[in-house]
Amino acid sequence: MAAHLKKRVYEEFSKVVQIPHEETPAKKLRLSKPSKSAALHLDLCKAASSTDALLHLLHFARKPVEAESVEGVVRILLEHYYKETDHSVRLKIASLLGLLSKTPGFSPDCIVGDAIDALSSEKSHQVLAQLLDSLLLIGTQLPESPTVRLRLTEVAYKHLADASFGVRKKCLQLLGCLGTVDAPPTKDTEGPGTSLAVKDVQSVISDYFGDQDPRVRTAALQAMLQLHERGMKIQQIIYDQACRLLSDDYEQVRSAAVQMVWVLSQLFPESIVPIPSSNEEIRLVDDAFGKISHMVSDGSWMVRVQAAKTLGSMLQVSPHFLEQTLDKKLMSDLRRKRTAHERAKELFASGEFSSGRKWADDAPKEKLDSNTVNLIASGACGAFVHGLEDEMFEVRIAAVEALCRLARSSPGFAEKCLDFLVDMFNDEIEEVRLQSIHVLRDISTHITLREDQLDTVLAVLEVGRRPAPPRPALWAARLFLQQSLKRASAIQNPEAAGARDLLDFTIR
């Protein structure tokens, strides 16, 4: 018993404690890669020369930038912009401002003020032009912000008098894209306190139609056209200036002037304009048609193409002006004839009198000289004839398409231009031949092929019968020609010699 108690005294008691299982917290990774702005700042600070800084900027331009990092990157770029002395580096920074403004999800209104401030201290014309280009990109990203557009327009007015053509060109582009299209201010609203941005933008831009640099003249015309596309009605007084630019020495200016003359002819078709060096007056659309017809003979093939295409959209032209484009000789109804009173007055003023040696030598005669041709320029006669005979196939295609559009709206003109379109079946370029066939199909309701035109049509069908890769356009053209031949044979003379054989040949 004693032994048992002793054993219990020395017995060690133990207990188990259960500790609840706790989840080990996940380890947090710390990224050692710096942000875009910090990385750019380090690269620019480490640059030993302007060349190294330019290389870093070129490398940075290829990398994508998140929207939340753009503002910080812009601050870093502007900080180095003011420190940099090399204009090539500043030029690249200015271009990056416009590139970053197009980042998806970023609103560039927060950097407009900084970009405008950079203009005030810049002396390089190239950097100024690039900053204005970046401001143009920023303005196009904020179409619903009138305050920003107002500030950018004021900047454009301020730098329009710059000596560099590049700066003037960018300012005109700014006015064309961001200028106000509201009604121009009147004399009552204008005053010494009038803001620059509410000036009549049309009068400001038109002042640069006569700039000494052709690139600025082109930019001025394009800015005016852009205002028209945005909804502003161009004033008619621009017409005379645009007509003078049709004879400019540079093709880009002439090309833009053709567009401007066409726009004004559509806005004021029934307005009456005087003819130079005479007392006659004609409709503005007729005068514009004659001037654009003259451009079909321009020295630049690009201007000729544009002029030919433009003629096809002038559907309000008088019929006699339209028909004159198919005849190289000036028609009598487009000559201004002097009255007998005018001729007698001129004879009396000259002091001449009849000698009496020749019968009726003092009878009134129609004297045709350069002063009597006033209604349309002699160079505009036969505009489509010149276009269809042009050495460039692009001009010929444009002339054929223009004839199609005009013929669809005038059945009488369609009959007169039929011979010219059929002659284009013999063109050396296949595209021109196919286009002329498509045109005949479009105006088939207004025309009827004659028998003397069937030989030309037959030659085209013979080409279509030769084994060649299948072409849907060629098969469609051949089908149309077959239908036209059926119609011509049925309407005119089905029993004519050779007509029935030709019809059988085309059906096979």
User: How many C-beta neighbours within 10 Å does residue 478 have?
Assistant: 18
Mean pLDDT over the full length of the chain: 80
pLDDT at 483 over 70: no
CA distance 226 to 41: 40
pLDDT tens digits, residue range 125-142?
Answer: 999 999 999 999 999 988
Which band of pLDDT confidence, cut at 50, 70 and 90, is reported for residue 92? very high
Q: Are 167 and 159 in contact (CB under 8 A)?
A: yes
Among residues 166, 170, 186, the alpha carbon closest in space to that of 178 is found at: 170
pLDDT at 375 over 90: no
Among residues 401, 465, 471, 461, the alpha carbon closest in space to that of 436 is found at: 401
User: Token pair for residue 158?
Assistant: 């301020």
Structure-token match 């190294």, residue found: 52
Q: Which residues contact 334 (CB under 8 A, 6 or more apart)?
A: 320, 321, 324, 373, 375, 376
CA distance 437 to 7: 125
User: Token pair for residue 392?
Assistant: 């460039």
Question: What is the residue type of 382?
Answer: G
User: Token pair for residue 494?
Assistant: 């089905």
Of 92-101, 145-154, 312-321, 466-475, the poorest mean pLDDT is in 466-475
CA distance 126 to 91: 7
> Phi and psi of 455, rounded to 5°?
-65, -40
CA distance 209 to 260: 12
Considering only residues 478 and 312, tell me which one the structure prediction assigns the higher pLDDT: 312
Among residues 450, 366, 444, the alpha carbon closest in space to that of 411 is found at: 444
Q: Which residues contact 10 (CB under 8 A, 6 or more apart)?
A: none
Structure-token match 């398409």, residue found: 401
Which band of pLDDT confidence, cut at 50, 70 and 90, is reported for residue 27? low
Instruction: Work out whether strand 281-283 and strand 272-274 pair parallel, antiparallel, or are unpaired.
Output: antiparallel
Which band of pLDDT confidence, cut at 50, 70 and 90, is reported for residue 467? low
Q: Which pLDDT belongs to residue 46? A: 75
DSSP 8-class letter at 92:
H
CA distance 359 to 305: 53
CA distance 402 to 390: 14
Which band of pLDDT confidence, cut at 50, 70 and 90, is reported for residue 344? low
Using CA atoms, how far residue 22 sits from 19, 103, 431, in Å, is 9, 46, 82
Please state the separation of Cα 255 from the chain's center in Å: 9
Among residues 446, 506, 508, 451, the alpha carbon closest in space to that of 480 is found at: 506
pLDDT at 218 over 90: yes
Q: Which pLDDT belongs to residue 343? A: 56
Structure-token match 């290389």, residue found: 55
Q: Are 122 and 131 in contact (CB under 8 A)?
A: yes
Question: What is the residue type of 57?
Answer: L
pLDDT tens digits, residue range 422-466?
Answer: 999 888 998 998 899 889 888 888 888 777 777 777 777 666 555
Q: Which pLDDT belongs to residue 353? A: 52
pLDDT at 485 over 60: no
pLDDT at 172 over 70: yes
Region of residue 360 (left: phi > 0; alpha: psi -120 to 50; beta: else): left
DSSP 8-class letter at 164:
-
192, 195, 198, 200: CA torsion to nearest 10: 40
Q: Are 391 and 300 in contact (CB under 8 A)?
A: no
As a whole number, mean pLDDT of residues 111-116 equals: 90
Q: Which pLDDT belongs to residue 37? A: 66
User: Token pair for residue 102?
Assistant: 């197009």
User: Token pair for residue 46?
Assistant: 């480490």
pLDDT at 93 over 70: yes
CA distance 57 to 354: 88
pLDDT at 188 over 50: no
Q: Which residues contact 164 (CB under 8 A, 6 or more apart)?
A: 125, 126, 128, 129
Which band of pLDDT confidence, cut at 50, 70 and 90, is reported for residue 488? low
In CATH, which superfamily holds the domain spanning 236-351+368-488? Answer: Leucine-rich Repeat Variant (1.25.10.10)
Partners of 283 in the β-ladder: 272
pLDDT tens digits, residue range 256-303?
Answer: 999 999 999 999 999 999 887 677 889 999 999 999 999 999 999 999
Using CA atoms, how far residue 312 sits from 169, 254, 294, in Å, is 31, 18, 14
Q: Are 383 and 293 in contact (CB under 8 A)?
A: yes
Q: Are 86 and 124 in contact (CB under 8 A)?
A: no
Query: What residue spans define the domains of the chain?
Result: 236-351+368-488
Largest CA distance in the chain: 185
